Chain A
């Protein structure tokens, strides 16, 4: 037999087909319906926001590659996911320049500073979100109504705020656009006014909220698909949602007149988006079997605690960031039991 060259390589000589790019691409694809729904709800502004934040993220990632003198990592799609998720977590009328700032911070501080994909401690999208929450507290709580007439013809006034300028007040515009719009999210309405939004409103997406968080059904469907293909760890969203529901149920048992039920807690705010797409970020979540459950449960309970007792109506972002911070510790203290170290059937 004529062999020009025999290759010597290490075992195993076969490999599964799955790659990092494949996982990331699948996650991104399932976000497309969520984005489409957001654009349907909020029109041009949502589209512009998603595009702007994503471009900011991709550009920052590319710049980080340049500065580190490495090949482009845009092809692993992780920066694109960060961009889309970040945009979906911002209010629909968020000024585009602020969105760009959020995107740059997410990649620069949240990812590149740690050494790029795989090395970051916190979910980059949430780092960007946390930054603009602190930097632009007014803009990030300026909610606009969904299904405003003319949303495909004109931008929400705050969207096109010139860079470094404060956005105009949108409440007047919002009330003019959709009659009876209160300018508050269901969580804020419950917390400050004691008004409970019915579940049907959540499912229709006709409540105020961040660009992508009101499409709970689509988020859940995307999560189901990813979990079925094992592109995300199903245990995390299950743990987050179950623990949040359990905590809410216990609070309601304790003081039914003060606390809403589990369904409200599950459907309101960014819990669904956070549980399915943010808490499941592989880089920043534990890998051990027990650790995964602990991490998810911690985020769910923390979310409810922050919502009920914190100064802000929403707590998902901080709950996940705390979970991210604890991930190394959780992994270290929940090692799987190695074969031959006690036990047997």
Chain B
């Protein structure tokens, strides 16, 4: 349900009495964080893992193994092709069955190494190159981070080393650690903060050293008090890192929004967060960095929340990368007439077209929705009645109502030039509240696509 008008009076009162840092507008969503109390548990190996060479934004890795070759868990099977690329490591001990194009969740066909799991395969990582992280600095540290194959685990999957490399044109003074986890259902970041606070701190120290930040702020929504307690207890004594509880409000965890909430700085339109001296990193990414780098291991598994009404055994699973979605859903017991499988949260996560796609570095959650949740789909789409609800919730201060009317008329240039369309990051608040059931976000997505194409062809 939406906004404060639907929340319990006691919760609203609590918020009033103890105001936490926040941002204007946005939504109070039903949290559905039922898996928050379930400890991280391992998922067994699937009989066959499909490990794509491209699980990040950038250039794909180049396979460094041959079909028929035996690989051990942790061994590199693809090497980075340049700076904006990442190596890939074998998530399981087994035999390379094939190197072939495979479908990814986003619809792309990408070269993947298919590994047939050995029956004797166990969870020990058999390949590692431990190093003295305390002595690593500068380009060597960035290189070491690249060697782990780490990509942003919040969803975007941008190569971590490229993000942490200090920008040439700006100085980073603050590292913001994103532990907001504002999407409903998702609790994997919550569990990581609760169970691995030491790894979080280790990762933060490394990241601060890499990007040059003098302070770090961990932003955690106030619906995770136990995680806040665990992190606070693990803070380093020098005071360079602090934990800040922020209001539980969607989309608190969007990078620019969290920067504003925690520092009051507004990233100028069209610029990156380094323009205001800030770097934002997802908390699981940093915890993983804190685990992998000192051990000299590569990224071969990640924690994923598997939840939703269509799941019999929801939970937080530590899943080997390359695990087929079908295997994962079989393991957790899908039920109740699965209608849609969403990767990530229900507000921004894309739906998958096929269950044969593998789990990759950017998969933060798997949400199984049944016909009940999607009942709104049968509602008719009506004309905009200009209720203005979308304007009241847009965290970017846009006028989605006007943008929607312009999109319906195909006036994409006006949308960009006069109504800041490019500032929309598709958080979904406007579509969520729209009583006329207008697919605003989708209209904006199309508008951006067409506009980019047009301006590119104009430039050419």
Q: 0/1 per residue, A332-345, Cβ < 8 Å to B?
A: 00011111110111
By a CB distance below 8 angstroms, the chain B residues around A68 are: none
Tell me if B348 and A9 are in contact (CB < 8 A).
Answer: no
A344 to B256 Cα, complex, angstroms: 12
> Closest A-chain residue to B391, C-beta based?
A287
By a CB distance below 8 angstroms, the chain A residues around B265 are: 344-345
Tell me if B397 and A15 are in contact (CB < 8 A).
Answer: no
Tell me if A283 and B386 are in contact (CB < 8 A).
Answer: yes
By a CB distance below 8 angstroms, the chain B residues around A344 are: 260, 264-266, 276
By a CB distance below 8 angstroms, the chain B residues around A14 are: 29, 184, 346-347, 373, 432
Known contacts: A6-B341, A6-B352. The answer to whether A287 contacts B401 by CB under 8 A is yes
**A311 adjacent to chain B (CB < 8 Å):** no
User: Of residues 256 to 286 in B, which have CB atoms within 8 Å of A's CB atoms?
Assistant: 256, 260, 264-271, 276
Q: 0/1 per residue, A231-257, Cβ < 8 Å to B?
A: 001000000000000000000000000
Known contacts: A7-B351, A13-B349, A117-B385. The answer to whether A1 contacts B340 by CB under 8 A is no
A283 to B436 Cα, complex, angstroms: 12
Min CB distance, A96 to chain B, in Å?
30
By a CB distance below 8 angstroms, the chain B residues around A18 are: 2, 389, 433, 435
Min CB distance, A4 to chain B, in Å?
9
Q: 0/1 per residue, B381-395, Cβ < 8 Å to A?
A: 011111111010011
By a CB distance below 8 angstroms, the chain B residues around A338 are: 269, 396-398, 420, 423
A344 to B398 Cα, complex, angstroms: 16
Partner of A6, one of B354, B397, B434: B354
Determine, out of B87-95, B211-219, B326-334, the stretch whose residues face the partner at the interface: B326-334
Determine, out of A19-27, A124-132, A139-147, A157-165, the stretch whose residues face the partner at the interface: A19-27
**B100 adjacent to chain A (CB < 8 Å):** no
Known contacts: A12-B428, A13-B369, A16-B2. The answer to whether A282 contacts B385 by CB under 8 A is yes
Tell me if A12 and B340 are in contact (CB < 8 A).
Answer: no
By a CB distance below 8 angstroms, the chain A residues around B346 are: 11-14
A292 to B392 Cα, complex, angstroms: 12
A283 to B401 Cα, complex, angstroms: 11
**A258 adjacent to chain B (CB < 8 Å):** no
- The A-B contact count (CB < 8 A) is 183
**B339 adjacent to chain A (CB < 8 Å):** yes
By a CB distance below 8 angstroms, the chain B residues around A233 are: 388
Known contacts: A118-B385, A339-B396. The answer to whether A9 contacts B1 by CB under 8 A is no
**B399 adjacent to chain A (CB < 8 Å):** yes
> Closest B-chain residue to A235, C-beta based?
B388
By a CB distance below 8 angstroms, the chain A residues around B267 are: 340
Tell me if A19 and B385 are in contact (CB < 8 A).
Answer: no
Partner of B397, one of A228, A229, A339: A339
A14 to B349 Cα, complex, angstroms: 11
Partner of B436, one of A118, A229, A288, A340: A118
User: Of residues 306 to 340 in B, which have CB atoms within 8 Å of A's CB atoms?
Assistant: 326, 329-330, 333-334, 338-340
A11 to B388 Cα, complex, angstroms: 20
A337 to B347 Cα, complex, angstroms: 24
Min CB distance, B147 to chain A, in Å?
34
> Closest B-chain residue to A338, C-beta based?
B420
A284 to B445 Cα, complex, angstroms: 28
Having A18-B435, A22-B435, A340-B267, one finds 9 other A-B pairs with CB under 8 Å, namely A11-B442, A13-B367, A16-B1, A16-B2, A119-B383, A287-B388, A338-B420, A340-B269, A344-B276
24 contacts between A and B (CB under 8 A): A6-B351, A9-B340, A9-B351, A11-B349, A11-B350, A12-B348, A12-B431, A12-B432, A13-B340, A13-B347, A13-B374, A15-B431, A16-B1, A19-B436, A117-B383, A118-B384, A228-B5, A233-B388, A282-B387, A287-B387, A331-B399, A339-B256, A340-B423, A344-B265
